[in-house]
Amino acid sequence: MNKLPIIKPFINSNLFDDLCVSSITDDSRDVQENSLFIARQGVGSHGNEFIGDAIQKGASCIITDRELGEQVDIPILYLENLEEKILKILFSFYDLSEDDFVFHGVTGTNGKTTTAFIAHNIIRALNKPSVYIGTLGAMVNDNLLKTKGNTTPGIFEIFQILKICKFHQKISIFIEISSHALAQKRLGNLPFSQTLLLNIQSDHLDYHKTESNYIDAKLSIIELNNKNPTIIFIDKIQDLLKNFSDDQKKQLSKSQFLSSTDTSAAFKYSLEYNPSGSSNIKLRFPNLCLDTQVSLFLKYNAENYISAIALIAEQISLDEFEIVRSNSIKLPQGRGEILKLREGNILIDFAHDHQSIQNILSELANYHDEIILVFGCGGDRDKSKRSKMMKIAQDFASKIFFTSDNNRYEPFSSIVKDAMAGNSYTSIEILEDRKEAINLALQCLNKENILVILGKGHETYMDVSGKKVPFNDKDCVLEILDNEINK
């Protein structure tokens, strides 16, 4: 189908007349025969640099906001204010209406996946259409779709997902928004009904360079195209507030707070946490007041549950919540996932920075006298956090197995050197083979202690020298124990 007539009103030009346009993309790798290639500014380069590739792959025409300076063999249109027009072009190109979607965005150093996933599943429990987009890929209702791999896809990839969402009902969209996506303005002018900031803890300094830049990136969620003020879980950033700049404080003033201690917060809650049973929750939100119970093993997942309800509080009535409150809460695989096995309890989580590791281990230390820990540090990533991760591990774990975690192109020995800098080698075994490390750790497991495996969570591969080698922590555990049972 030729979609040129659909976009003509937005380009106000006859330059493409008589052409066929069947697809649209801003990534030259996705160009197909008769694609319209949008050449726009990227992170480190401009799309103009890839026009030759797009033409070679069959693009029929180009739109760019920057003069090319050379002749090309297909029509090229120079369009001022291109970024401002992209959203309307995409909605029209895919025959979608902005009114059919309710967009939600979640950011935070930790908890994005769990919070967005829980919110998505609450909406699904009401038999309403919903889409989750984030670290796990994309879930259209209950069907998982593979994405290119970024926590937050670009706007063109998001519309590739949305184009299949024609359910004749308003569709809830839950998007994890990473600090990279915020800094790069990856979501453009996408209209959000509600956004949420869970927490800010130092991370990704290999990209952001300074903690101040990282904080700025996270706070910029407040400046997105938001219908309602961003909800900020203010209790989780209290320690940072005293060092906020005037501009950062000004941003905060545009938001609304979620809190268990601030009586003036718009979203107030109380939590009586019970790690071995039901925790009592009281919510006093602008559009939703209720008392409920939840059974979740880790306290921060109970807080993620509360955050998820705050995110959708404008959409869900008390009567509707009564329908879903009895349903078991679905957590994403590898996020605080507990395996209650004959040999003992195992916790698997995606935690891969020192704060998230401390969040888990400090909580577990309240209920377990001995913690056995398997973890590693990602290669070719922020080196400054490696020794901090090891320090936290030593503070709480009785036995540590330090191993590979997506070494990428970096030697494991280099990662070990950084992790051990300033730390003791007491009660630590260093093994590059992650399966071997898990196997040895399982030999330490009993009914009294707990084994914690951190860093990879849901991931199904190990990234080694550019190759994705199949591997999953949970599958590895079950395979080893089955082998032992069968002996």
For 417-424, what is the mean pLDDT?
96
Bridge-partner residues for 469, per DSSP? 462
The amino acid at residue 152 is T
Q: Rounded distance, CA 283 to CA 267, Å? A: 8
pLDDT single digits (tens) 78-125: 998 899 999 999 999 999 999 999 999 999 998 999 999 999 999 999
CA 151 to chain centre: 5
The pLDDT of residue 382 is above 90: no
HSE-up of residue 368 (Cα within 13 Å, Cβ side)? 28
**Structure confidence at residue 148 (pLDDT):** 87
HSE-up of residue 68 (Cα within 13 Å, Cβ side)? 22
**Structure confidence at residue 485 (pLDDT):** 42
Q: Is the pTM of this model over 0.75?
A: yes
**Structure confidence at residue 263 (pLDDT):** 93
Q: How many helices (H) and strands (E) does the chain have?
A: 17, 23
Per DSSP bridges, beta strands 256-259 and 267-272 are parallel
HSE-up of residue 104 (Cα within 13 Å, Cβ side)? 30
In sequence order, what E strands does 408-470 have? 428-430, 450-454, 461-464, 467-470
The pLDDT of residue 218 is above 90: yes
User: 369-401 burial string, b = 16+ CB within 10 Å, else e?
Assistant: eebbbbbbbbbebbbebbbbbbbbbbebbebbb
pLDDT single digits (tens) 288-344: 999 999 888 889 899 999 999 999 999 999 888 888 875 667 888 888 899 989 889
Q: Rounded distance, CA 266 to CA 258, Å? A: 7
Confidence band, pLDDT 50/70/90 cuts, at residue 210: confident
For 454-465, what is the mean pLDDT?
94
Residue 203: exposure state from Cβ atoms within 10 A (0-12, 13-18, ≥19): buried
pLDDT single digits (tens) 221-277: 999 999 999 999 999 999 899 989 999 999 999 999 999 999 999 999 999 998 878
**Structure confidence at residue 487 (pLDDT):** 37
Confidence band, pLDDT 50/70/90 cuts, at residue 486: very low
Which of residues 486 and 23 earns the better pLDDT score? 23
Q: Please give the domain boundaries of the chain with CATH numbers for all domains.
A: 4-93 (3.40.1390.10), 98-324 (3.40.1190.10), 337-486 (3.90.190.20)
The pLDDT of residue 48 is above 70: yes
Q: Which of 146-150, 214-218, 288-292, 395-399 has the lowest mean pLDDT?
A: 146-150
Confidence band, pLDDT 50/70/90 cuts, at residue 206: low
- Over the chain, what is the mean pLDDT? 92
HSE-up of residue 60 (Cα within 13 Å, Cβ side)? 18
Q: Is 466 left (phi over 0), alpha (psi -120 to 50) or beta?
A: left
Bridge-partner residues for 269, per DSSP? 283
Residue 243: exposure state from Cβ atoms within 10 A (0-12, 13-18, ≥19): exposed
Q: Rounded distance, CA 401 to CA 373, Å? A: 6
The pLDDT of residue 483 is above 60: no
In degrees to the nearest 10, what's the CA dihedral of 142, 143, 146, 150? -20
Q: Rounded distance, CA 469 to CA 462, Å? A: 5
HSE-up of residue 410 (Cα within 13 Å, Cβ side)? 19
| Contacts (Cβ under 8 Å, ≥6 apart) of 435 | 471, 476, 480
In degrees to the nearest 10, what's the CA dihedral of 306, 311, 317, 320? -70
Q: Are 349 and 339 spatial neighbours (Cβ–Cβ below 8 Å)?
A: no
The pLDDT of residue 379 is above 50: yes
Q: How far apart are the first and last CA of the chain?
A: 60
The pLDDT of residue 216 is above 50: yes
Confidence band, pLDDT 50/70/90 cuts, at residue 204: low
pLDDT single digits (tens) 428-440: 999 999 999 999 9
**Structure confidence at residue 205 (pLDDT):** 61
